[in-house]
Chains A and B, each alone.
Chain A
């Protein structure tokens, strides 16, 4: 498990906020607009006093919708970004999943005991919700597919190019991620970025542990080939 995923380097929990929220670019160039619009980025979770968020959680758990809105604003970037990755860059679905996740969080909040950080709890709830729907709609049947649609992958990768992007290395990495077959990309994301273990990935996606390991191996191998 990556250090970030374990929360060692970031008190925000698994894969917490590293800095100012910026647009995600590794999935089809979405968010290139920089998330402009009505959304206001609040203080990143990692730099917010822990007791302040605990107070929001306590009040929201008791029914204070305003306190829950503060939690929403504070964690929106992380959760929406997660949904965007899990939905292969589909913004409409990501928005719907984000809404569903926060509504589910509101319903489950009274059961949140504070054993983990709210960000970690919220993150896991979101992954469970999104992947649960995918299982329900049988969106994971293509875990054994080949590099899928290289035409589609190339189109996705092509949309990433942007003249303002100065991090060429990051772009190569993002382009390579976008090229991966869906199943391999999902496992790589869950394991190497989000910090889940193979047993957890298997439970979340409905695949076997061995399949998860094989997909991770495949994803890493392809990435190394493309990045070399």
Chain B
């Protein structure tokens, strides 16, 4: 045996290690417990693409929708004045807010809800996907923005 400290002998594997038996069996059948934890397999790619596509469309539509509201001086002005009023008065002015803006916001909200639902489903199938998680956070943020707009009566 080479007893040199740090010598060449210590660099070589121990003889016989590769002859050890590596396999072992548990004392009970683990399959029932494993099977109970297996989630039904769904086509991940399909739902994943749907999630991505929906989220992308949400981002585009919401962005366009919010931009249009900001760019429309009438709607923007009404929104600012309306927001400054007491709640009771605001409610009476609701019918006079631009219908197209309200419809657009609500349509976007529905799209965001759908996208969020699909992203959650995709995450269930691929829980470690960071990209899906980021998209979900983005969709949730946009949903909150849209809900705020709806609440403000725009």
Binding site for B on A (CB under 8 A): 2-4, 15, 17-18, 21-26, 30-31, 33-39, 41, 61-63, 65, 68-69, 72-73, 76-78, 80-82, 84-85, 91, 94-95, 98-99, 102-103, 106-107, 110, 169-170, 173-174, 188, 192-193, 217, 220-221, 223-225, 227-228
Contacts and interface: CB of A to CB of B under 8 A. Distances in A.
Interface string B1-39: 111011001111110111111111111111101110111
B27 to A, nearest CB: 5
A25 B25 contact: no
Contacts of A15: 22
Contacts of A61: 41
Given A224-B1, A224-B9, A24 B17 contact: no
B26 A94 contact: yes
B6 A217 contact: yes
Interface in B15-74: 16-31, 33-35, 37-42, 44-45
A39 B32 CA distance: 12
Given A220-B13, A223-B14, A39 B26 contact: yes
Given A80-B26, A193-B22, 12 more contacts: A2-B18, A17-B23, A34-B25, A69-B31, A77-B23, A91-B27, A99-B33, A103-B37, A106-B38, A110-B41, A217-B10, A228-B1
A63 B41 CA distance: 5
Contacts of B31: 69, 72-73
A192 B17 contact: yes
Nearest to A72: B31
Top 4 closest A-B pairs, CB basis?
A: A35-B25, A63-B41, A77-B23, A81-B24
A30 B33 CA distance: 22
